[in-house]
């Protein structure tokens, strides 16, 4: 189906169109150039567009498309080229169009990849090998430059791997060996891996394309490592697991161990949500990132779900057959016990300097003790006892963190940062089963760190986002959000509210293929933030609601008709309308920009809307700029307000400070130098390396 310009009728910049100058003097634009631009922008006949593009690409100026276009014309020309590409099988046009798109691709990052990526993927079905090759090059380039890899992978699955066209499907599988690299290890590759196993299970497909399938599966297996691979396989059906073990060589499995599997109880299973059928058809029992969901999960009273089908159960001996477990009694273990006891007895009365010293010694003792446990129980006949010893060790750490954060102490930012890194260390090394059973305690510790002591800063906010995303690798994200955003949300200070908005936004961006059935309830907690007297909160809330509504539309472009027909989005808009008519207009305007915020590797959220001089007269930016951070919070109202005029007072003018403030909300990507606090805690350990979140 061709994309139409109706998907992008909203301006991407200011509310009024401006006349930009050409990059080349107008006298340098030939008659043929003008004819090309005119037909691409105004002619509705696809055949005319195909003829003019093919003719124009034969001249010497064929590599200068971006130089003859006015900046304001590039988006519409891009749409015209893509729409025609989706409607034709003319191989000459396909090649020429891809060449032009390649020239424009350096500017494509400012447009939604959903506009053009499906059309490029479609070219895999071309009868021309040159077209297929060029399409593959553009797709590889796209995954390198995009900041939204989850959307890229979703489109690649839907339009490539799951295509009904066999040539397109096979080419998409072949390209995986070049497309995916080790940098994508912690992206959600589970849907791709599951689809490949489903094709491998199909006798007809396997007999024809066995080598292509096996090579791609082996490639992804090596990217994942044995620990992630085992987590993926554990959540697939028994039939798919049998297919994997039957047709994929196991010789290299023991050579790629990247992490120690710390599943502590084979009867545990994270309650996981199924993927929306509108997003990925025929994908039962899937989840995102590290895991895929299970069907018919029943919650137990002990904070986890029961599942008797676990492929790791074959490694676990009956409890009655195990001898009593003795804890190592070496000096390293004594150091760990000593620092734990010291912190329990001295923490409440200690100074910040002593607390930092305690935490440094604690971290070092944890590392040494973990290495000792692994060496003593994984390299000897006691390997079957490893998980029980590890469970005791991790519980000691969790209990200590719970104790030292439960008191209402005046924690400094330095202490908070190090406590978060310690909690992240625990999550990383505990992994699946332990986190599943203890996620509520972990969330309580996390909230206590944020709530106690000094106000949080942007560095702690970024660390908080990374920490929760790590926890959501192992526990269904919806369960974590339920623990963090509750009836106390409105009573938090604005910095903590910003962090929770950031966590919710980042979760929906990172784990978009989960099913979230509580978003409407969570939205009610966030509504007051839209009317906050703080611009950061308004901006953060609008960005968060944008992602929520995009989820309700399965992350597809939102048009005015969608706003009227999508019941979930209509419910959200009704809630906002009951709050403020200005907020409703601002949100509707923001949604139709079709520009989602993006999540960076460092835990920043880059906004889809930047409030600057080019957007200050738009309804969404104007709504944010209306508030002064020193004013009181407006009360919700159900009356219809008059249209808001552009701010004219000194307090609402766009100054460099205000512009920076709005761009940095939630936290948004920073352009300034980092604070010195990072130096103060760098001796503890680098939390980005520890989390390994991408």
Q: What is the pLDDT of residues 651-692, one digit of tens each?
A: 334 443 344 333 333 444 433 333 333 333 333 334 344 444
Peptide bond into 144 cis (omega under 30): no
- Which of 105-109, 196-200, 573-577, 638-642 is least confident? 638-642
Which of these, 680, 672, 663, lies nearest to 613 by C-alpha position? 663
Residue 97's contacts (CB-CB under 8 Å, 6 or more residues apart) are 53, 81, 84, 85
Distances, alpha carbon 601 to alpha carbons 171, 486, 510, in Å: 30, 28, 11
Let me know the angle formed at the C-alpha of 599 by 597 and 602, rounded to the nearest 5 degrees. Answer: 140
State the burial class of residue 9 (Cβ atoms within 10 Å of its Cβ: 0-12, 13-18, 19+). Answer: exposed
Q: Indicate the pLDDT class of residue 60, thresholds 50, 70 and 90.
A: low
Residue 395 has pLDDT above 70, yes or no: yes
- Convert the pLDDT of each residue in 224-248 to its tens digit: 888 888 888 888 888 898 899 888 8
Q: Which residue has the higher pLDDT, 691 or 336?
A: 336
The architecture (CATH level 2) of 5-146 comes to: Alpha Horseshoe (1.25)
Q: Distance (Å, rounded) from C-alpha 249 to C-alpha 222? A: 12
SS3 295: coil
CA distance 448 to 444: 6
Sequence-distant (6+) residues with CB within 8 A of 390 are: 262, 264, 373
Quick one: three-class SS letters along 519-587?
HHHHHHHHHHHHCCCCHHHHHHHHHHHHHHHHHHCCCCCCCHHHHHHCHHHHHHHHHHHHHCHHHHHHH
- Count Cβ atoms below 10 Å from residue 522 Cβ, excluding itself: 20
Residue 632 burial (CB < 10 Å; 0-12/13-18/19+)? exposed
Q: pLDDT per residue over 120-163, tens digit each? A: 999 999 999 999 999 999 999 889 888 788 889 999 999 999 99
Dihedral sign computed on CA atoms, order 91, 97, 103, 108? negative
Residue ranges of domains in the chain: 5-146
Q: Which of 168-177, 525-534, 665-674 has the lowest mean pLDDT?
A: 665-674
Dmax (CA) of the chain: 89
pLDDT above 70 covers what percent of the chain? 70
- For the whole model, what pTM was predicted? 0.53
Alpha-carbon span 483 to 489, nearest angstrom: 11
> Are 8 and 79 spatial neighbours (Cβ–Cβ below 8 Å)?
yes
The residue among 643 and 423 whose pLDDT is bigger is: 423
Specify whether the CB–CB gap between 38 and 81 falls below 8 A: no
Find the range with the poorest average confidence among 48-62, 279-293, 342-356, 559-573: 279-293
Contact (Cβ atoms closer than 8 angstroms) between residue 369 and residue 336: yes
More confident residue, 647 or 51: 51
Instruction: Determine the 3-state secondary structure of 269 from DSSP.
Output: strand
- CA 624 vs CA 220, 458, 468, 663: distances in Å: 44, 20, 28, 12
User: Which residues, in sequence order, are bridge partners of residue 605?
Assistant: 599
- Predicted pLDDT at 79: 86
Q: How far is CA 613 from the centre of its chain?
A: 29
- Please tell me which of 54-58, 367-371, 429-433 the model is most confident about, judged by mean pLDDT: 367-371
76/115 Cα distance (integer angstroms): 11
pLDDT reported for residue 387: 81
The pLDDT score that the predictor gives to residue 417 is 92
């Amino acid at each position: 189906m061709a994309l139409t310009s109706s998907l992008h009728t909203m301006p991407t910049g200011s509310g009024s169109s401006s006349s930009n100058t050409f990059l080349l003097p107008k006298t340098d634009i030939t008659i043929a150039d003008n004819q090309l631009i005119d037909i691409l922008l105004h002619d509705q006949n696809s055949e005319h567009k195909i003829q003019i593009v093919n003719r124009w690409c034969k001249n010497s100026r064929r590599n200068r498309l971006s130089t003859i276009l006015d900046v304001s014309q590039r988006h519409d020309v891009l749409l015209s080229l893509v729409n025609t590409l989706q409607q034709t099988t003319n191989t000459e046009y396909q090649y020429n169009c891809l060449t032009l798109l390649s020239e424009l691709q350096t500017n494509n990052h400012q447009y939604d990849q959903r506009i053009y990526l499906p059309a490029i993927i479609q070219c895999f079905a071309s009868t021309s090998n040159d077209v297929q090759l060029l399409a593959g090059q553009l797709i590889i380039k796209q995954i390198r430059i995009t900041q939204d890899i989850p959307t890229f992978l979703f489109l690649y699955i839907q339009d490539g791997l799951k295509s009904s066209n066999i040539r397109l499907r096979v080419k998409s599988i072949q390209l995986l060996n070049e497309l995916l690299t080790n940098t994508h290890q912690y992206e959600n590759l589970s849907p791709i891996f599951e689809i490949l196993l489903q094709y491998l299970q199909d006798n007809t497909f396997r007999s024809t394309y066995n080598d292509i399938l096996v090579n791609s599966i082996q490639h992804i297996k090596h990217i994942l490592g044995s620990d992630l691979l085992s987590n993926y396989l554990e959540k697939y059906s028994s039939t798919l697991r049998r297919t994997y073990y039957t047709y994929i060589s196991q010789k290299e499995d023991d050579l790629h161990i990247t992490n120690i599997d710390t599943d502590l109880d084979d009867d545990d299973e994270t309650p996981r949500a199924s993927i929306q059928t509108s997003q990925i058809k025929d994908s039962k029992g899937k989840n995102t990132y590290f895991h895929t969901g299970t069907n018919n999960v029943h919650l137990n009273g002990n904070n986890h779900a029961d599942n008797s089908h676990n492929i790791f159960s074959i490694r676990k001996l009956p409890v009655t057959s195990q001898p009593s477990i003795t804890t190592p009694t070496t000096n390293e273990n004594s150091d760990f016990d000593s620092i734990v006891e010291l912190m329990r007895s001295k923490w409440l009365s200690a100074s910040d300097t002593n607390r930092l010293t305690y935490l440094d010694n604690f971290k070092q003792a944890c590392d040494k003790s973990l290495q000792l446990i692994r060496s003593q129980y994984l390299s000897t006949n006691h390997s079957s006892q490893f998980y029980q010893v590890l469970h005791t060790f991790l519980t000691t750490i969790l209990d200590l963190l719970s104790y030292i954060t439960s008191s209402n102490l005046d924690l400094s930012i330095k202490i908070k940062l190090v406590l978060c890194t310690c909690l992240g260390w625990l999550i990383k090394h505990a992994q699946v089963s332990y986190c599943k059973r203890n996620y509520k305690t972990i969330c309580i510790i996390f909230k206590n760190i944020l709530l106690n002591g000094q106000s949080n800063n942007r560095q702690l906010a970024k660390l908080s986002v990374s920490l929760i995303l790590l926890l959501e690798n192992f526990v269904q994200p919806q369960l974590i959000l339920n623990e963090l955003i509750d009836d106390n949300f409105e009573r938090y200070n604005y910095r903590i509210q910003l962090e929770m908005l950031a966590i919710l936004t980042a979760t929906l961006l990172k784990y978009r293929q989960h099913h979230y059935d509580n978003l409407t309830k969570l939205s009610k907690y966030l509504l007051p933030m839209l009317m906050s007297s703080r611009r950061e909160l308004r901006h953060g809330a609008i960005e968060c609601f944008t992602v929520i509504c995009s989820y309700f539309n399965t992350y597809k472009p939102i048009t005015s008709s969608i706003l009227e027909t999508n019941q979930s989005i209509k419910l959200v808009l009704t809630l906002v309308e009951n709050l403020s008519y200005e907020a409703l207009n601002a949100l509707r305007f923001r949604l139709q920009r079709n520009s989602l915020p993006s999540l960076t590797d460092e835990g920043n959220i880059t906004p889809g809307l930047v409030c600057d001089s080019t957007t200050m007269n738009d309804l969404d930016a104007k709504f944010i700029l209306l508030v002064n951070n020193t004013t009181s919070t407006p009360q919700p109202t159900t009356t219809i307000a008059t249209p808001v005029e552009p701010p004219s007072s000194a307090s609402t003018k766009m100054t460099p400070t205000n512009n920076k403030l709005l761009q940095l909300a939630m936290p948004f990507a920073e352009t300034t130098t980092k604070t010195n606090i990072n130096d103060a805690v760098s001796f503890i350990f680098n939390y980005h390396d520890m989390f390994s979140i991408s």
